[in-house]
Chains A and B, each alone.
Chain A
């Protein structure tokens, strides 16, 4: 559904995105993560045809991303929800449906159905008077007025309260389950980890890791073993009345066991901690951007 090849974007002398290559299959939920300034938003905007690549190509739904025809198949949600304050949710959505050549009757049904699913009331209230969460829901509804095959969401839950955030993440998951291809970025990596089939990690404009979360974890994550002993051993720290030594392999666990025995004690407990995507992300972000990653 989406094919990105060696995508590059320069602003003056600044390179925002460098050599991005990835693909997204039909019905896949694809996450783009990275620190601020990593090039996530620029990448998503190039997919949406908003920003013209300096070089490389991006194809969406079989069209070049710069082809206006492509936009018929795309629903884009920017990071902010820039609505027109003097319009109502209904008039706003009807206008965009009209631009997408959606027949009036179909548009009306689709708009109300989407707003029902989003649990959005006050549909005739001025958009300038609605809450941020409601505005976000209207913006999401706008991305769906043309019933697109591809959804590109930039931080869909940015700045929202936990309740609304969860609601929107669940809604996004439902969209994916209904067969839509979703590409989205998020700061909250828990959400990415929970709903994305695959992700790419970007840093300094480059993709530094990519694949399913498990694949990334295997490739870049290190499992920690926290070995609790009854006596102090080399490298251990006192913790909750015991001594904890953190190692990264079973060999380390065995070594700790030997050290404890030599000191007249024993291993009291062993806890395994699998790294979250956030841990991996922080680690990758701290590394050199030269790390190659190809999903």
Chain B
């Protein structure tokens, strides 16, 4: 790699494509970027107020209903004019000493219902402002949100992390502070010493097994608005709307950038256009890096603008310039691996696609898949540990004023960094004349890419080891998709899915080698390839021990997914533990040999062998989880 050549190609990539955009388009893009940067934090901090002023309430200024109406932006307070009410200009009419009267329309009924809620919220706020908090709220309930798997584990009977025992501090009666709302510090709860010494909800922290409710914006309030108290019916689940908006703001632009990037890569392949770059004195790596760099920097720039905008307008971490810069930098650092994965997968997609039509299908699929991977777990930020698999979760936490632990960063981003690296390596492997300009189907191109990494039998070990990031990401995704199901259902499914993913990862490189007549089809060769693939996978698999860096294995499915690999959480004799440590090597070698044998005999027999290997692997997983884990 020559940095100067890479930079020249990067400059050329920008200037070449800049010619495709006229000034009007550039201006439009600029306006859109500014709008995203400005509107996102506004929406995140204030929410989308589509219902502001939709109801007109006729209420006198001296009426006790006047203040609730004025304080709720849903309403517009007007003079209580009976004529206006009859003509439909007023939705609810409030007259002295009479209950509010709704207009004879559905809107009138809706307005009345909304008014009732607003009055109740107003009363709660008023009560919360009382100096004698105990008098205002004689019964005080502290609520903390706990990990969902804790309750699942409890139902399974094999966990001591039960959620309903009072001594773990989940529920404390009379504990004083109510929830984690920002208005709940007025009562000290001196009368609440009867149930649970850690029942003081205000002192809960994620480290004691519970998870804090989202703390970004007003969504952190337990009771919807900014009240600290209320009735049980007012309790809303910790749905982090703000987190979603923030996460969306980071991921959305990436989907547009990869379209341009993938088009540019495919453009090199149309009419052999990229041939002249290949014959110039630059390496394939220089070309790919140079073409990728502008898009990567563009993504980072957009993320930076977004992060600075959000950090500046909703300074949860502090409004000092240094704090804003620190928050924005941490956010961007978390977004970088997502950007790289978007680019790497788009690059490979563009190298495999045969036409722009096919590329559209590929990029849309990638967009949906990657956005789901990054976005869905982030919804559960501070709610469920499954959120840890997405770097966007880190972004949401950082922008919400939280810190960025190195271990969390490593867990969330390392699989993405590695996956992106392997994808780029695969793509560069086929970025050559012989593969770029041929019209083969995507599966065959994929096999070509794998074959480009094979030169001798031991290459299959390298390929199997390199597949680990994909396996890890796929298994995390499987965990994310299945975690909401009951363990009795999700566990067996997950074990089979994991077995399938791993068997595919170990065998597809061997299949590619046989498909390209790279290996001898003798039984000796099959045995050697199977062992080498199993060995490579075994060694690479140990890297998943990074899962121990954070608490994902505390999740039941996390243990199922990674515990059999790492021996995590298994309490048994050292001899058995050593056996468990090396048993996977035997398993992987045996099943990889099975699939290698099938691959050497053609496609159909490969699929049969893959199914058999999956069954054997799943049986092993089930055995380990059932009898040991």
Q: Are A76 and B279 closer than 8 Å at their CB atoms? A: yes
Nearest residue (CB) in B for A74 is B279
Complex: A126 Cα to B19 Cα, angstroms? 9
Complex: A91 Cα to B277 Cα, angstroms? 15
A58-81 vs B, CB cutoff 8 Å, 1 = contact: the mask equals 000000000011011010101010
Complex: A51 Cα to B281 Cα, angstroms? 15
B261-285 vs A, CB cutoff 8 Å, 1 = contact: the mask equals 0000000000111111111111100
Contact of B283 among A68, A95, A98, A126 (CB under 8 A): A68
Residues A78 and B15 in contact in the complex (CB < 8 Å), given A71-B280, A100-B280: no
Quick check: is A232 within 8 A (CB to CB) of the other chain? no
Q: Are A50 and B517 closer than 8 Å at their CB atoms? A: no
Q: Are B16 and A80 closer than 8 Å at their CB atoms? A: no
Complex: A52 Cα to B434 Cα, angstroms? 9
Please give, as numbers and ranges, the residues of chain A lying within 8 Å of B278 by CB-CB distance.
50
Quick check: is A142 within 8 A (CB to CB) of the other chain? yes
Q: Are B276 and A96 closer than 8 Å at their CB atoms? A: yes
Q: Are B434 and A99 closer than 8 Å at their CB atoms? A: no
B486-522 vs A, CB cutoff 8 Å, 1 = contact: the mask equals 0000000000000000000000000000001100000
Complex: A232 Cα to B185 Cα, angstroms? 127
User: Among A82-90, A192-200, A211-219, A261-269, which stretch is in contact with chain B?
Assistant: A82-90
Nearest residue (CB) in A for B516 is A12
Please give, as numbers and ranges, the residues of chain A lying within 8 Å of B271 by CB-CB distance.
80, 82
Quick check: is A49 within 8 A (CB to CB) of the other chain? yes
Tell me the chain A residues, 91-140 only, with Cβ under 8 Å from chain B: 91, 95-96, 98-101, 126
Nearest residue (CB) in A for B17 is A86
Chain A proximity of B351: nearest CB distance (Å) = 17
Chain A proximity of B356: nearest CB distance (Å) = 15
Q: Are B279 and A99 closer than 8 Å at their CB atoms? A: no
Complex: A140 Cα to B278 Cα, angstroms? 16
Chain B proximity of A89: nearest CB distance (Å) = 13
Quick check: is B234 within 8 A (CB to CB) of the other chain? no
Quick check: is B542 within 8 A (CB to CB) of the other chain? no
Nearest residue (CB) in B for A10 is B517
Nearest residue (CB) in A for B277 is A99
Quick check: is A206 within 8 A (CB to CB) of the other chain? no
Complex: A7 Cα to B484 Cα, angstroms? 61
Chain A proximity of B563: nearest CB distance (Å) = 44
Chain B proximity of A104: nearest CB distance (Å) = 12
Q: Are B276 and A91 closer than 8 Å at their CB atoms? A: no
Quick check: is A235 within 8 A (CB to CB) of the other chain? no
Complex: A48 Cα to B281 Cα, angstroms? 11
Q: Which one of A68, A71, A80, A100 has the greatest number of beta carbons of chain B within 10 Å?
A: A68
Chain A proximity of B450: nearest CB distance (Å) = 15
Chain B proximity of A74: nearest CB distance (Å) = 7
User: How many chain A residues have a CB neighbour from B under 8 Å?
Assistant: 31
Q: Are B276 and A82 closer than 8 Å at their CB atoms? A: yes
Q: Are B272 and A82 closer than 8 Å at their CB atoms? A: yes
Chain B proximity of A11: nearest CB distance (Å) = 7
Q: Are B279 and A86 closer than 8 Å at their CB atoms? A: no
Complex: A90 Cα to B37 Cα, angstroms? 38
Q: Are A99 and B19 closer than 8 Å at their CB atoms? A: no
Quick check: is B67 within 8 A (CB to CB) of the other chain? no
Tell me the chain B residues, 1-16 only, with Cβ under 8 Å from chain A: 5, 8-9, 12, 15-16
Please give, as numbers and ranges, the residues of chain A lying within 8 Å of B517 by CB-CB distance.
12-13
Q: Are B433 and A100 closer than 8 Å at their CB atoms? A: no
Quick check: is A8 within 8 A (CB to CB) of the other chain? no
Quick check: is B20 within 8 A (CB to CB) of the other chain? yes
Nearest residue (CB) in B for A152 is B279
Complex: A183 Cα to B19 Cα, angstroms? 35
Chain A proximity of B233: nearest CB distance (Å) = 62
Residues A50 and B280 in contact in the complex (CB < 8 Å), given A84-B16, A87-B19: no
Q: Are B516 and A96 closer than 8 Å at their CB atoms? A: no
Q: Which one of B19, B277, B516 has the greatest number of beta carbons of chain A within 10 Å?
A: B19
- Report whether over half of chain A's contact residues are helix, strand or loop; otherwise say mixed: loop
Contact of A50 among B17, B20, B279, B283 (CB under 8 A): B279
Please give, as numbers and ranges, the residues of chain B lying within 8 Å of A82 by CB-CB distance.
271-276
Residues A51 and B5 in contact in the complex (CB < 8 Å), given A68-B283, A96-B276: no
Quick check: is A45 within 8 A (CB to CB) of the other chain? yes
Chain A proximity of B475: nearest CB distance (Å) = 34
Please give, as numbers and ranges, the residues of chain A lying within 8 Å of B283 by CB-CB distance.
68
Please give, as numbers and ranges, the residues of chain B lying within 8 Å of A142 by CB-CB distance.
276
Q: Are B272 and A99 closer than 8 Å at their CB atoms? A: no
Chain A proximity of B21: nearest CB distance (Å) = 9
Please give, as numbers and ranges, the residues of chain B lying within 8 Å of A91 by CB-CB distance.
15
Q: Are A68 and B275 closer than 8 Å at their CB atoms? A: no
Nearest residue (CB) in B for A92 is B16
Complex: A72 Cα to B15 Cα, angstroms? 24
Chain B proximity of A166: nearest CB distance (Å) = 25
Please give, as numbers and ranges, the residues of chain A lying within 8 Å of B274 by CB-CB distance.
82
Complex: A87 Cα to B11 Cα, angstroms? 13
Residues A86 and B281 in contact in the complex (CB < 8 Å), given A13-B517, A96-B276, A99-B8: no
Nearest residue (CB) in A for B273 is A82
Complex: A78 Cα to B517 Cα, angstroms? 30
Nearest residue (CB) in B for A72 is B281
Please give, as numbers and ranges, the residues of chain A lying within 8 Å of B434 by CB-CB distance.
11, 51-52
Chain A proximity of B85: nearest CB distance (Å) = 65
Chain A proximity of B390: nearest CB distance (Å) = 37
Nearest residue (CB) in B for A13 is B517
Complex: A74 Cα to B280 Cα, angstroms? 9
Complex: A101 Cα to B8 Cα, angstroms? 10
Complex: A165 Cα to B433 Cα, angstroms? 27
Q: Are A99 and B16 closer than 8 Å at their CB atoms? A: no
Please give, as numbers and ranges, the residues of chain B lying within 8 Å of A101 by CB-CB distance.
281
Residues A71 and B5 in contact in the complex (CB < 8 Å), given A12-B517, A84-B16, A86-B16: no
Please give, as numbers and ranges, the residues of chain B lying within 8 Å of A12 by CB-CB distance.
516-517
Complex: A86 Cα to B282 Cα, angstroms? 22
Tell me the chain B residues, 269-306 only, with Cβ under 8 Å from chain A: 271-283
Q: Which one of B5, B8, B434 has the greatest number of beta carbons of chain A within 10 Å?
A: B434
Chain A proximity of B246: nearest CB distance (Å) = 36
Nearest residue (CB) in B for A88 is B19
Please give, as numbers and ranges, the residues of chain A lying within 8 Å of B9 by CB-CB distance.
99
Q: Are A100 and B19 closer than 8 Å at their CB atoms? A: no
Chain A proximity of B537: nearest CB distance (Å) = 28
Q: Are B15 and A50 closer than 8 Å at their CB atoms? A: no
Nearest residue (CB) in B for A69 is B281
Complex: A6 Cα to B271 Cα, angstroms? 30
Q: Are B433 and A71 closer than 8 Å at their CB atoms? A: no
Chain A proximity of B622: nearest CB distance (Å) = 41
* Given contact pairs A82-B274, A82-B276, A100-B281, a sample of 7 additional A-B residue pairs in the complex whose CB atoms are under 8 Å apart: A45-B433, A78-B272, A82-B273, A84-B16, A87-B16, A99-B5, A99-B8
Closest 3 CB pairs of A and B: A86-B19, A82-B273, A71-B281
Q: Which residues of B contact A (CB under 8 A)?
A: 5, 8-9, 12, 15-17, 19-20, 271-283, 432-434, 516-517
> What are 12 A-to-B residue pairs whose CB atoms are below 8 Å?
A11-B434, A52-B432, A52-B434, A69-B281, A72-B281, A76-B279, A80-B271, A82-B273, A86-B17, A91-B15, A99-B277, A142-B276
